[in-house]
Structure 1
Amino acid sequence: MKRSFHVTVAALFFSAGLSPLVFAGDLYDLDPEHTQAIFHIDHLGYSTVTGSFRQLKGMLTLDEEHPEQSLVEATIEASSIDTGVPTRDEDLRSSQFFDVARHQTITFRTVKVKRRGPRSADLSGELTLLGISRPVTLRTTFNQIAPDPLRGSRMVAGFTATTSIRRTDYGMKAFIPLIGDVVRIDINVEAIRR
């Protein structure tokens, strides 16, 4: 049976204006309770600060037979940033960093999928942060698709992805070079078929 895999994560990881109706297969919605967008950034050379975003949504269409036709779209609420330190999170919401008063969301849309192996692919897309859109590639591993006995045997697809960006590419220049420019992003996704 042919299956389709389309994710809007918002944020995770995005579509090049193509409607998911163009592709055959099932639509999946990201499960916000089991989906994470985690970032890692150098802090003064002493340590790595890690944080995540608590509010994200998305959908995916996965085509296992033709993964190059898969789509991903994701949206992250920038104000949901959480590093475990409330005062730092408020600083990160300010105009020096995520400027959530003017830029409420971070989005990702795929433009190309290139298969690397039987369970891996590169998802090339467009990441929009602070109103600036730039290309980014998510190195993605497809974990499994199967009925979940804890969710009434609903079909669930799971994958992990990683990428790195330079925050200065998006105009986020505060405290460079004391706080790192390169940000590593890890994404864990579980998506439930509609």
Structure 2
Amino acid sequence: MRALRYVALAGLIAAAGTATAAPVTYNLDPGHTMVLFSWNHFGFSNPTANLGSVDGKLVYDEKDPTKATVEATLPLSGLDTFVPKLDEHLKSADFLDAAKYPTVTFKSTKVATAGKGKLKVTGDLTVHGVTKPVTLDVTLNKIGPHPMMHSQTVGFDATATIKRSDFGVGAYVPNVSDEIKIRITTEGHDASAK
């Protein structure tokens, strides 16, 4: 009888271990997401804009991060440089043409490990109606229960550099830099949590 109890207990422990290792779907939290992009302006300054109004999902498997997937949509209506006239100019046909192309999207196509807590996430970035592959250098910040959200939470930072002219947004190059530096920080909460 005691042996049977040990077998049952071992089975429960194994099942619990398997359950925590299963892929989890997370909703990206727009309140804790910033997608910052910066550029050089005629050599004088390096302005930054935020596209943090994210709507997205991340599927993450702690046991095998290479199986992770992420999809995100960023409405240009949320673009914020903290300078209203600059926001208008960036949304105009000179640059992003937000009236015609109202969102920026990213959909992962491949994830590779790049060291402890580091990933290379390649995906299709669509800006201004043009889709190009982009690789994000990603750092896992933390994964575990969130003390205020009462759900499993995951947090990442990521960086990338793109050329805006690749996406048909080449106005004023090279005086306004073609190279755009992207920095992302985000949290996602377990989509199954109430």
Q: TM-score range by the shorter chain?
A: 0.7 to 0.9
How much does 1:56 deviate?
A: 1.3
How much does 1:54 deviate?
A: 3.8
- Matches for 1:63-142 after TM superposition, within 5 Å: 63-142=61-140
The counterpart of 2:142, out of the listed 116, 141, 144, is 144
How much does 1:109 deviate?
A: 0.7
Greater RCO between the two (CA within 8 Å, min separation 6)?
A: 1
Deviations 1:112-167 (A, max 9, x none): 1010112001001110111110010000000111111122x211100100001000
Structure 2, unaligned runs of 5 or more: 1-16
Q: How far apart are the structure 2 equivalents of 1:30 and 1:56?
A: 7
Question: Which residue is 1:173 aligned to?
Answer: 170
4+ residue runs of structure 1 moved beyond 4 angstroms?
none
How much does 1:79 deviate?
A: 2.3
SS at match of 2:172: coil
Whose strand fraction is larger, Structure 1's or Structure 2's?
1
**TM-score (ref. length: structure 2):** 0.86
SS at match of 2:86: helix
Q: Which has more radius of gyration?
A: 2
Quick check: 2:128–2:168 contact (8 Å CA) kept in 1? Answer: yes
The counterpart of 2:53, out of the listed 52, 55, 79, is 55
- Matches for 1:5-84 after TM superposition, within 5 Å: 25-84=23-82
Q: How far apart are the structure 2 equivalents of 1:104 and 1:119?
A: 34
* Aligned-partner residue type, residue 77 of structure 2: S
SS at match of 1:68: helix
**TM-score (ref. length: structure 1):** 0.86
Count of paired positions: 174
* Aligned-partner residue type, residue 145 of structure 1: I
SS at match of 1:117: coil
Q: How far apart are the structure 1 equivalents of 2:48 and 2:188?
A: 24
Give the superposed CA RMSD.
1.2
* Aligned-partner residue type, residue 190 of structure 2: R
How much does 1:25 deviate?
A: 2.0
Structure 1, unaligned runs of 5 or more: 5-23
1:191 aligns with 2:188: yes
Quick check: 2:161–2:181 contact (8 Å CA) kept in 1? Answer: yes
Identity %: 38
